[in-house]
Structure 1
Amino acid sequence: MSHITQSAVHCINPDCQRPYPQPWGNKFCNSCGAPLELLDRYVPLQPLGSGGFAQIYTVWDQKTQTEKVLKVLVEDSPKALELFTQEAAVLSSLHHPGVPAVDAEGYFQVQLFNPKLHQLPCLVMEKINGQTLEEILKKFPQGCPENLVINWFAQTVEILQELHKRQIIHRDIKPSNLMLGTSSPTVTTPQGQAQGDRLVLIDFGGAKQFSASKLRSQSSSTRLFSSGYSPPEQVTGSIVGPSADFYALGRTMIELLTGKYPLELEDQQTGKLRWRTVVNVNPQLADLLDEMVQEDVRSRPANAAMIQKRLAKISQPLPPTGLFAQLQDKIKQTLGQVSQGFTLLIQAIERVLANFTQAVTKTVVFIAQTIIKIFQACLATIWAMILAYVGACFGAIAGFILAYHTSLGHWVVQSISTQLNQLVPNTQPIFGADILVFIAAGWGTAWGLTVSGCFGQRRRFLVASVMGMISYGFGWFILQLITPKDSGEGLVAVILVAACLLTLSLGLRSHHVVYAVFAAFGSAIAYALLIILGLAPPIFQFSSQPAWSELQLPLIFFGSVGFFISFWLGVSYYLIVPGLRFLGWR
């Protein structure tokens, strides 16, 4: 023991400025004043590393004259303290050779004064001399021998059986948490495992108590997992049970057999491990491991006893083989390889069919959505055309009544005649009252388009109505200036002016100039074609006392203008503007 009594001591205060070396025999740290003899029994010697929220040290137990491991919680969060206390409680309750032993007084707290008064939770446990399976695996890059893996597998299942019997799940099984205690610290050959080698499950920081009632409930658990090993229900924070340990153990054993990290073996589409072609192992062992790593909890083995029973059959020595038996084994092996090849072929075909089906489905959905959008666009445009036509006709009728059947018309005639004679000499009064027809038709057209709510409008009724009256009134003024009066140029000019100004006032979201140009020129060209084909009147005039029959031609004109404006707004909204956006005009 001379090397112990002559060793320097390490201070466990995480805030100590000079934790090492401290003279052997000192009760307190020379730098920060923290206790160096814990419980007057344990003396920290050197740090072994860190894990999770804790710092780990080798300590000398003066009572038993043995080296042990001290785990010190350096994280001060409530959750870290809860997990640390939980680990101490689990280890203290277990007495199994596959679990590090903890003394009766192994969990305690050390009071520190520097830099402030606080408690430092500590846990002293048995020191396991050996290597983790992660360290051993580095010596076998192509995978560990099958007989070694089966031995480790069986020992781990026995440990889990004891844990689960006490309703404890580990929740963090992986190669780095399985330690092989050996008489020699290294493993030199595949056959280097001694009969007395003992596998120990370490790091119980994530261990948790479970019960049957909790497993049946829908409550969730703490989201604590190790990527590549933990099952899906643990990764998502759902309730977990013993099968979570079986899943992690299965993936751990597959990694030990193949030498590959589980995520490297995962199929990108299905998430299943494709490992059986990487290494040739006992088919019964491979089947058992595949069942353990199923995503569905119900497909995994129900308990450790079932796994032990199947492992016992796998571990049974084979009877002496004769020529016939060797031939039979060869045939079975060949059939197994053929079966695996056929399975891979079927899986490849399934993936191709799945991709093809997915592509066809996307295409069909895209076509269906396109047809629906076209149908909706047609309905919206037709609805706007109907309302604009009806609104224009209603406005024209209202304007006709105001102009020729109320005193307002006579007052407008006199006012406009006076003003118009100053601008355009020799103007007859008969041209004064029909401005009310134009203004009212503009109001009706604007009102109908706004009521339809199509083409992404902001539905500004007042602005659209006022601008509709102004635009059609200005069109009437343009009509008075154009000669000769009996040509169709006047009405085409009215459409250009009225449609352009009206469209700019509709409260469209963007590309106002595009809408105005297409609505104005499209409507004007369409009406010009109707004039050429003899389907629309080139001009209309009201007499001094017009009859209702004279309203027929104005109704055709104003209704067709509203009809054409709506049509070209639909073309612009659903075709032209999206095309410009696609070309980069925002």
Structure 2
Amino acid sequence: MSHIGKTAVHCINPDCQRPYPQPWGSKFCTSCGEVLHLLDRYIPIAALGSGGFAQIYTVWDEVTQTEKVLKVLVEESPKALELFTQEAEVLVSLRHPGVPKVEADGNFQINLSNPKPRQLACLVMEKINGPTLAEILDNYPQGCPEAVVINWLIQALKILQELHKRQIIHRDIKPSNLMLRTPVSTALPNQGGIGWEQLVLIDFGGAKHVKMARLRQESSSTRLFSSGYSPPEQITGGNVGPEADFYALGRTIIELLTGTYPPDLEDPQTGVLQWRNRVNVNSQLADLLDEMVNENVRSRPASAAIILKRLTKITQPSSSSLSTNWQKFLTQVAHQWQVLLQGIEQSFGNFGKTIRKLVLWIFKTIYQIFTACLSTIWAMLLAGLGAGVGTIFGFILAYHTSLGVRIAEFISTQLPELAQNSQSLGGAEMLLFATAGLGTAFGITVSGCFAQRRRLFVTSSMGIISYAFSWLLWRVISANGDRGEGLVAAVAIGVFLLALSIGFRSHHIVYAVIGGFGAAMGFATLLLLEFPTTALQFSNSPTLSELSLPIAFFSSVGMFMSFWFSVSYYLIVPGLKLLGWR
């Protein structure tokens, strides 16, 4: 019988004065007289510890000749019995390798008489041999390898997918409730060996059946939560759905990556986890985890399938790009800077704490300014490049296909007062604006320099719409006045509308106002420096050589826009948050 051996039995009576050791083969406890051989099948042989309202034992199953786990309810309250019974029903109904197996007859009660008559609820389940992720994390104080954690995340999501399909919410996901079925050595397997450890979700004492159709109308009947992992709606006793499990799983994964307890990562003013600067992970994975731990339920992913689909895109190998190489460069710079900071900190080890903290603060501030400048330059380059490419693409469509003529015909039909000049000119201009907006939006989104969500389709579509609208505004204004003033107004409105669609984390109106006003003022400065207002006028049969001024115009707008987005991200928005505007 495994490594324990048939040497002694453990009495499960909570009031027994000497529960262990009892002679092997005894039917009754020599101390309290209670039954030892449960259902003539299960023999308790060792205490494993306690959890919640229950005591946990290793038992020997004489029918299957295997070790199993016995969970005994020692709390006598009706609510504890309700939760215990609920856990048993959930586990009996599930058949998944990521959930401990419980037979149909694994939930039973035994009668006790000493010191008073009572019934003891018992639950026998499969024994999972292996460590919890909390135990593994003890060996990795700086966080576990990203590839291994992603593997665990995928397995956990597949377990949740099965639970949620059965309308079961776990409500208590954390590292100590996730185990690896197969024992592992002190070192985690390398990436080539990932996949052989089966992740298992345990402790279904807080699990809850929900009716999805009535989820919004009914409040949670039982207020249970784990500090540091449970979402706000669960802590306050509100409605909980699958998103509550995603929140707890997201915080668990962040802890596994950083090695830091989630509350220790929270911003003291906003409560948002500040963890990205502690570990180098895939930026798309970081975005996904940030969405999972969003305090707003509706901002979290709606299902495990959606998260798994995004993880598939993240883990699929792809060719290197400029953005990827740029992120690697910044990572290397950050690593070298951290090494420098550590060396400086050691050098000042004999100085007073105040001097040491001051010096470190100065160097950290310089580093933050340096990285902010690099990110700003990168965003400006990509936005300018995207605008230039979009302009060239729009020029080809407008003047070398029939699309420009068709748009002009549509404009002349719907808005005849705007088509005072050549119809092809009006349609071509609008197409040029639209494609430049598409390229600008794409460039800003790909840069990822403002922690924005990478919603390429939404942002690119809005880039087309906002720039096309700005063209319309320009034609209306320039029909009654100066073309320069019209262009300044068009720039302000186009940037304002585009900014609203970029997935900034907060303060969208601030980014829109500052970006629109700043870009307009930047272009107004160019006009004062005698930038020609005829930049978008072409000959009757234009050639590519005439594109230099339009490219300069749209690229400069994109660069001005990115610059002022950066000013908002690094200066204005943090200042507003400091003043209390969340």
TM exceeding 0.5 = yes
Q: Please point out which of 341, 350, 355 is paired with 2:573.
A: 350
Task: Return closer, same or farther for 1:3/1:266 CA change in 2, 3 Å cut-off.
Answer: closer
User: Does the CA contact (< 8 Å) of 2:151 and 2:194 recur in 1?
Assistant: no
Q: What does residue 141 of structure 2 align with?
A: 141
Q: What does residue 474 of structure 1 align with?
A: none
Q: What does residue 324 of structure 2 align with?
A: 329
Helix, strand or coil for the counterpart of 2:313?
helix
Partner Cα distance (2:318, 2:25) in 1: 60
Deviation at 1:346, TM superposition (A): 2.9
Q: What does residue 398 of structure 1 align with?
A: none
Partner Cα distance (2:572, 2:274) in 1: 16
Is 1:161 matched up with 2:384? no
Q: What does residue 104 of structure 2 align with?
A: 104
How much is the aligned-residue C-alpha RMSD, in angstroms?
Answer: 2.3
User: What amino acid maps onto 1:331 in structure 2?
Assistant: W
Q: What does residue 253 of structure 1 align with?
A: 253
Q: What does residue 174 of structure 2 align with?
A: 174
Q: What does residue 308 of structure 2 align with?
A: 308
User: What amino acid maps onto 1:329 in structure 2?
Assistant: T
Q: What does residue 61 of structure 2 align with?
A: 61
Deviation at 1:6, TM superposition (A): 2.8
User: Does the CA contact (< 8 Å) of 2:174 and 2:229 recur in 1?
Assistant: yes
Offset from partner CA, 1:167-204 (integer Å, 9 cap, x none): 00000000000001124464455559564210000000
Q: Once structures 1 and 2 are overlaid, which stretch shifts more, 195-204 or 182-191?
A: 182-191
User: Does the CA contact (< 8 Å) of 1:129 and 1:185 recur in 2?
Assistant: no
What are the equivalent positions in structure 2 for 1:563-582 lying under 5 Å apart? Answer: none
Task: Return closer, same or farther for 1:283/1:19 CA change in 2, 3 Å cut-off.
Answer: same
Task: Return closer, same or farther for 1:353/1:288 CA change in 2, 3 Å cut-off.
Answer: closer
Partner Cα distance (2:44, 2:316) in 1: 47
Partner Cα distance (1:109, 1:248) in 2: 33
User: Does the CA contact (< 8 Å) of 1:251 and 1:293 recur in 2?
Assistant: yes
User: What amino acid maps onto 1:80 in structure 2?
Assistant: A
Q: What does residue 317 of structure 2 align with?
A: 317
Task: Return closer, same or farther for 1:184/1:141 CA change in 2, 3 Å cut-off.
Answer: closer
User: Does the CA contact (< 8 Å) of 1:111 and 1:119 recur in 2?
Assistant: yes
What are the equivalent positions in structure 2 for 1:80-479 lying under 5 Å apart? Answer: 80-184=80-184, 186-187=186-187, 195-319=195-319, 329-333=324-328, 338=375, 339=449, 346=569, 349-356=572-579
User: Does the CA contact (< 8 Å) of 2:293 and 2:300 recur in 1?
Assistant: yes
Offset from partner CA, 1:143-182 (integer Å, 9 cap, x none): 1100000000000000000000000000000000000112
Partner Cα distance (2:567, 2:179) in 1: 36
Question: Among the aligned pairs, what percent are the same residue?
Answer: 68
Helix, strand or coil for the counterpart of 1:13?
coil
Partner Cα distance (1:229, 1:308) in 2: 21
What are the equivalent positions in structure 2 for 1:532-551 lying under 5 Å apart? Answer: none
User: Does the CA contact (< 8 Å) of 1:130 and 1:186 recur in 2?
Assistant: no
Task: Return closer, same or farther for 1:65/1:352 CA change in 2, 3 Å cut-off.
Answer: same
Q: Once structures 1 and 2 are overlaid, which stretch shifts more, 347-356 or 14-23?
A: 347-356
Deviation at 1:334, TM superposition (A): 5.0
Task: Return closer, same or farther for 1:25/1:114 CA change in 2, 3 Å cut-off.
Answer: same
Helix, strand or coil for the counterpart of 2:131?
strand
Offset from partner CA, 1:104-132 (integer Å, 9 cap, x none): 21000011110011100000000000000
Offset from partner CA, 1:448-468 (integer Å, 9 cap, x none): xxxxxxxxxxxxxxxxxxxxx
Task: Return closer, same or farther for 1:291/1:91 CA change in 2, 3 Å cut-off.
Answer: same
Deviation at 1:348, TM superposition (A): 5.6
- Structure 1 or 2, whichever has the larger Rg, is 1
Deviation at 1:314, TM superposition (A): 1.2
Task: Return closer, same or farther for 1:250/1:212 CA change in 2, 3 Å cut-off.
Answer: same
User: What amino acid maps onto 2:228 in structure 1?
Assistant: G
Helix, strand or coil for the counterpart of 1:140?
coil
Offset from partner CA, 1:220-261 (integer Å, 9 cap, x none): 431100111100000000010010000000110011111111
User: Does the CA contact (< 8 Å) of 2:169 and 2:208 recur in 1?
Assistant: yes
User: Does the CA contact (< 8 Å) of 2:131 and 2:183 recur in 1?
Assistant: no
Task: Return closer, same or farther for 1:265/1:190 CA change in 2, 3 Å cut-off.
Answer: farther
User: Does the CA contact (< 8 Å) of 1:130 and 1:185 recur in 2?
Assistant: no
Partner Cα distance (2:290, 2:70) in 1: 38
User: Does the CA contact (< 8 Å) of 1:158 and 1:304 recur in 2?
Assistant: yes
Partner Cα distance (2:78, 2:580) in 1: 51
Task: Return closer, same or farther for 1:38/1:194 CA change in 2, 3 Å cut-off.
Answer: farther
User: Does the CA contact (< 8 Å) of 1:131 and 1:185 recur in 2?
Assistant: no
Helix, strand or coil for the counterpart of 2:104?
strand
User: What amino acid maps onto 1:257 in structure 2?
Assistant: L
User: Does the CA contact (< 8 Å) of 1:131 and 1:186 recur in 2?
Assistant: no
Partner Cα distance (2:570, 2:33) in 1: 67
Please list every run of 5 or more consecutive structure 1 residues that lacks an aligned counterpart in the other structure: 359-586
Deviation at 1:350, TM superposition (A): 2.9
Offset from partner CA, 1:468-504 (integer Å, 9 cap, x none): xxxxxxxxxxxxxxxxxxxxxxxxxxxxxxxxxxxxx
Offset from partner CA, 1:86-119 (integer Å, 9 cap, x none): 0000000000000000012100001111001110
User: What amino acid maps onto 1:157 in structure 2?
Assistant: L
User: What amino acid maps onto 1:346 in structure 2?
Assistant: Y
User: What amino acid maps onto 2:576 in structure 1?
Assistant: L
User: What amino acid maps onto 1:352 in structure 2?
Assistant: G
User: Does the CA contact (< 8 Å) of 1:91 and 1:100 recur in 2?
Assistant: yes
| Aligned length in residues | 353
Deviation at 1:216, TM superposition (A): 2.1
Partner Cα distance (1:119, 1:193) in 2: 47
Task: Return closer, same or farther for 1:20/1:103 CA change in 2, 3 Å cut-off.
Answer: same
User: What amino acid maps onto 2:575 in structure 1?
Assistant: V
Helix, strand or coil for the counterpart of 2:56?
strand
Helix, strand or coil for the counterpart of 2:307?
helix
Task: Return closer, same or farther for 1:4/1:332 CA change in 2, 3 Å cut-off.
Answer: closer
Helix, strand or coil for the counterpart of 1:103?
coil
Partner Cα distance (1:343, 1:102) in 2: 56
Partner Cα distance (2:193, 2:76) in 1: 41
